[in-house]
Amino acid sequence: MQRRTFLAGALSGAAISAVPLTARPAVGAAAATTTVTTLDDLRRAIDRAVPGDRIVVADGTYTVPSGQAINVSGRHGTSSAPITIVAQSRGGAVLQGGRSFVFSDSSDITVSGFAFRQSTTLEIPAGCPRIRLTRNDFRFADTAGLDWVVVRGDDAKIDRNHFHDKTTEGIFLVVDGPGSTAMAQRLHVYKNHFSRHSFGGENGGEPIRLGVSARALSSAHALVEANLFERCDGDPEAISVKSSDNTIRYNTVRDSRGGIVLRHGNRSTVDGNHLLDGAEGLRLYGNDHVVVNNHLAGLTGRALVIGSGTTRDHHAGETAEERRGNDACDRAVIAHNTLVGNARTLTGETRTYAPQGVVVADNLLVGDTGSLVEMETTTGFTWQGNILWGAASAGTIPSGGYRRVDPLLRRGTDGVFRLSAGSPAIGAATLVTPAVPYDADGHERGGSRDVGADEYATAAPLRRPLTPVDVGPNAV
């Protein structure tokens, strides 16, 4: 059994301590390490770099003159020996001015440890595969409409960075692709810290936007995992998915207006996320999604929305206006989730096309106000094995789709509601497929699964809601 664990790092708040970057990639015999102290020296070192080379930029502040850039052109590392451009210490090399690194016709490049303070977008273009941005601090100019990092190249990795402090419209991390409809492939977004986006508008301030309406039917196969979102209030969507075949797992969204929204696209998986003490939870549109093991507690808005549509299904040949509309949620599987103490628990919407063929099974819905289920018209839903509890009414859930019984939840010091010994939820799950081998804590479920996101165990959780020490530039 493979299990994941999150270990403590040393990041706290917005500032990064100057930590020497001692970890080095595997390099070949011809690899060299070069230390540079000026932008001209950095450019020259990049222009002659070969696989495995490591370029160390001395601590200091570097201002890129207007109209210039740090070009990375025609440079190719390898998967086992990337070309690495690294700050002498994490956050110690500050890049300011209009632009910093500009990539073209390059691959297997790692950029690590910089404090980016530029005023235009940093782009990983199509045709530049396997670019990695790691352990950087991003705080660009607070310019309205400026998206900070845009990924169009395949197999990019964005990990252990801190994106923070924006008050205007614009997105921290945008994922697009070549042309007008394709998506960058196999992006990995891992252990980043997104914090303090306070744009007050209704749209356009997401921390992550994974695609756009015109790209919705294109598969991206992106993996967004183990990221922390705090005070991300620039948009109702903290993670906005507008493409297909993605996995969003093990993330924590805390004290934020935004939630996780499958806005466009099909066949995505949302697994093991914690959404705590914010506003929005999960909102689903499109077809054939799997939503399991999520823990939603203390939300002042809607915890889980099974969306209706202005269209049944998006399809090739739509107009731009048609593609922007909502696609009804069809054939989703929503199972083994725990929703506790939210203002609205499980809700629907009123549009022309009602969701259909959705399975809602083996979830824990607990609350004391309103109704636990507020679905509008539905077609062909399967409700089974759910447990409801609290002073809130059952609402519109069919009587055969739930039991009303105290699940004996206990709240841990990490804020997570877990099962106590003797809970009627233990071993009571009814769903056979799809397989859900682990719970939100990373514990193996075994053959007799429990209802809700937690599988009862006496062992300590292997995964918990993330905190700043688990993510960002100093994360393990």
pLDDT digits (tens, 9 = 90+) for 112-152: 999 999 999 999 999 999 999 999 999 999 999 999 999 99
Q: How confident is the model at residue 30 (pLDDT cuts 50, 70, 90)?
A: low
pLDDT, residue 201, reads 85
The CATH architecture annotation of domain 121-470 reads: 3 Solenoid (2.160)
pLDDT at 24 over 50: no
- The whole-number average pLDDT for the span 35-64 is 98
Instruction: Please state, in angstroms and rounded to a whole number, the distance separating the CA atoms of residues 198 and 39.
Output: 34
**Structural contact between residues 390 and 415, judged by C-beta atoms closer than 8 angstroms:** no
Residue, of 1 and 292, whose pLDDT is higher: 292
Helix (H) or strand (E) segment spanning residue 58: none
CA distance 476 to 472: 9
Pairing of strands 333-335, 290-292: parallel
Domains in the chain: boundaries: 121-470
pLDDT of residue 138: 98
pLDDT above 50 (res 279):
yes
What whole-number distance in Å separates Cα of residue 383 and Cα of residue 120?
49
Query: Which residues, 6+ apart, have CB-to-CB distance to 2 below 8 Å?
Result: none
CA 184 to CA 164: how far, in whole Å?
24
Least confidently predicted of 90-94, 257-261, 321-325, 334-338: 321-325
pLDDT for the residue 202: 82
User: Residue 18: pLDDT above 70?
Assistant: no
Task: For residue 434, say if its preceding peptide bond is cis, omega within 30 degrees of 0.
Answer: yes
pLDDT at 376: 87
Reported as a single tens digit per residue, the pLDDT across 193-226 is 999 999 998 889 999 999 999 999 999 999 999 9
pLDDT at 223: 98
- Look at residue 468 and give its three-state secondary structure: helix
Range of lowest pLDDT (69-78, 222-231, 309-318): 309-318
Distance separating alpha carbons of residues 253 and 341, to the nearest angstrom: 16
First-residue to last-residue Cα distance in the chain: 22
pTM over 0.85: yes
Is 286 in contact with 315 (CB distance < 8 Å)?
no
Round the average pLDDT of the chain to a whole number and report it.
93
Distance, CA of 33 to CA of 75 (rounded, Å): 16
Residues paired with residue 346 on neighbouring β-strands, in sequence order: 304, 373
Residue 342 near residue 372 (C-beta atoms within 8 A): no
> What pLDDT, on a 0 to 100 scale, did the predictor assign at position 5?
33
Q: How far apart are CA 239 and CA 234, in angstroms?
A: 11
Q: In the chain, pLDDT over 70 holds for what percent of residues?
A: 94
Report the DSSP pairing between strands 290-292 and 252-254: unpaired
What gap in Å lies between CA 168 and CA 144, rounded to an integer? 5
pLDDT in the model for residue 236:
96
Among 25-34, 322-331, 458-467, top mean pLDDT goes to: 458-467
Q: b or e along 54-76 (b: 16 or more beta carbons within 10 Å of the residue's beta carbon)?
A: bbbbbbeebebeeeebbbbeebb
Find all residues with CB under 8 Å of 149, minimum gap 6, and list them: 121, 122, 123, 124, 133, 138, 158, 163, 172, 173, 174
Which two structure tokens, joined as six digits, stand for 405? Answer: 């019984």
Scored b (16 or more CB within 10 A) or e, 324-341 reads bbbbbbbbbbbbbbbbbb
- Checking if the pLDDT of 3 tops 80, the result is no
Per-residue pLDDT at 90: 98
Q: Give me the mean pLDDT over the 162-189 stretch.
A: 97
User: What is the arithmetic mean of pLDDT over 176-196?
Assistant: 97
